[in-house]
Amino acid sequence: MAEELIGNCLIAQSGGPTAVINSSLAGIVTEALNHEQIEEIYGGLNGILGILREDFIDLAEESQQTIRGLRHTPASALGTCRFKLKKSQDFDRVLAVFEAHNIRYFFYIGGNDSQDTADHISKLAIERGYALRVIGIPKTVDNDLVATDHCPGYGSAIKYVATTVKEIAADNESMGQGDLVSILEVMGRNAGWVAAGASLAKRREHPNDPPHLIYLPEVAFSPQKYLDDVQRVLSKKKDCFVVVGEGLVDQDGNYLATASTQTDSFGHAQLGGAGEYLRAMAEQHLGIKARVAKLGIGQRAAAHCVSLTDNNESFMAGQAAVKAAVLQGETDKMVTLIRGDGDQYSCETGLCDLEDVANGVKMIPATWINDDGVSLNYQFTKYALPLAFGEMEVPFENGVPKFVQLNKMRVDRMLDPYIME
């Protein structure tokens, strides 16, 4: 047993949500209630912004029904942000706020940028001698965090994408006339995990099922090869199903199709045009009818089509964070998901150092991509299939899914307002 640390805990969510990010929140709250060392359970609104501003709510005041309902409510129930602490005074403020509210446990649900922030906070607390335990909980549909077998949120994203591919493919195949290139643009700025997941729409033993061509950021895009690929598929059947990750890059690593010249606050290029780019190419160079669908934010929010496995693991990751902090006295760690060795899929949680995950990006292993560059082999399927497994019954009301909303009973502020520059 670790040294006992008594105080309040703070939970926050950061970055782009997933369909199951609130399941991790529910896991943390549920587990925190089991430990007397945790006195108050606070939620910080809108990620790190809410911490700077002391925008805290009392999560223990929420009804049990609401906490249970978080498991089928998409988006970040606490609100989120894309804001990166940079200046040392921002970090000073965070610690001042923690001290003022006696925050001794900080659980941060986010991607690699968020884990980087958590790492800095944790290290600063150690340096200042402020007793604080910081545990990150991974989330990202992009599945690109290192050190964990996979990321909470990914299994649900690919279940939704593969389901959509299968449905659209059935429609394409039922059309009796004319060649068609059917394009689906999916998420994935730096890695092609979501695009690759579309291959789960193929039935086993049917490698020629749609999607026929999957373009991944891991494979430098060649316009001529794309046109050749499409023609090869259309020489055998009348429709060609293309899945493309938004972050398609050329051989020099430049994005091929940006929807605008803007960049976000992290300096990421704002993407969105890869599907339209491929459609225009097929129509202009091959004279073939092409159409595009772009699922957009639906991919990270489709609570009506989550993976039960993913949902359960997201909850479990939240629970594990609390146990690691309270029982093992861990800090400066992120919860990881570890896959069992057996033939039957199993998963348990582990821990890694926050700094190990903070700035890495995990790509699809080159050995999982077939030589054609546009399909995945059995190693990917073996990896991804169990993550999308199982369905969850979600409540509907008046024809649409029913989500919960937190009551958000505010915690009194203790400090002067913080002026952000």
Looking at the annotation, which residues are catalytic?
A: 142
220 binds its own copies, rule: CB under 8 A:
no
Residue 231's alpha-carbon distances to 172, 180, 202, 227, 239, in angstroms, are 17, 11, 20, 6, 10
CB of 185 to its own copies, least distance (A): 9
CB of 186 to its own copies, least distance (A): 11
Choice between 7 and 79, CB closer to its own copies: 79
Choice between 82 and 323, CB closer to its own copies: 82
CB of 289 to its own copies, least distance (A): 7
Under 8 Å between Cβ of 153 and 13 = no
Choice between 306 and 324, CB closer to its own copies: 306
State the Cα–Cα distance between residues 100 and 94, nearest whole angstrom.
10
- Of 113, 276, 330, 356, the residue at the interface with its own copies (CB under 8 A) is 276
113 binds its own copies, rule: CB under 8 A:
no
319 binds its own copies, rule: CB under 8 A:
no
CB neighbours of residue 152 within 10 Å:
34
User: Per CB under 8 A, which region of 3-11, 23-31, 277-285, 321-329 contacts its own copies?
Assistant: 277-285
DSSP string for 122-139: HHHHHHHT---EEEEEE-
In the stretch 246-265, what mask flags binding to its own copies with x, by CB under 8 A? Answer: -------------xxxx---
Residues β-bridged to residue 369: 376
Residues β-bridged to residue 376: 369
CA-wise closest residue to 324 among 133, 42, 67, 64: 133
Longest alpha-carbon distance in the chain:
72
User: What ranges in 303-416 are assigned the alpha helix state H?
Assistant: 308-326, 354-358, 378-384
Choice between 4 and 393, CB closer to its own copies: 393
200, HSE (Cβ side, Cα atoms, 13 Å): 27
CB of 385 to its own copies, least distance (A): 6
User: Per CB under 8 A, which region of 30-38, 112-120, 276-284, 334-342 contacts its own copies?
Assistant: 276-284
26 binds its own copies, rule: CB under 8 A:
no
State the Cα–Cα distance between residues 350 and 45, nearest whole angstrom.
27
Phi, psi of 2 (to 5 degrees): -80, 165
Chain residues 383-402 in contact with its own copies, contact rule CB under 8 A: 385, 388-391, 396, 398-401
Residue 113's alpha-carbon distances to 85, 153, 220, 259, in angstroms, are 10, 16, 25, 23
- Of 71, 300, 333, 362, the residue at the interface with its own copies (CB under 8 A) is 300
- Of 9, 29, 77, 186, the residue at the interface with its own copies (CB under 8 A) is 77
How many residues belong to the site for its own copies (CB under 8 A)? Answer: 79
Q: Per the structure block, which two tokens stand in for 65?
A: 């029904």
In the stretch 154-173, what mask flags binding to its own copies with x, by CB under 8 A? Answer: -----x--xxx-xxx-xxxx
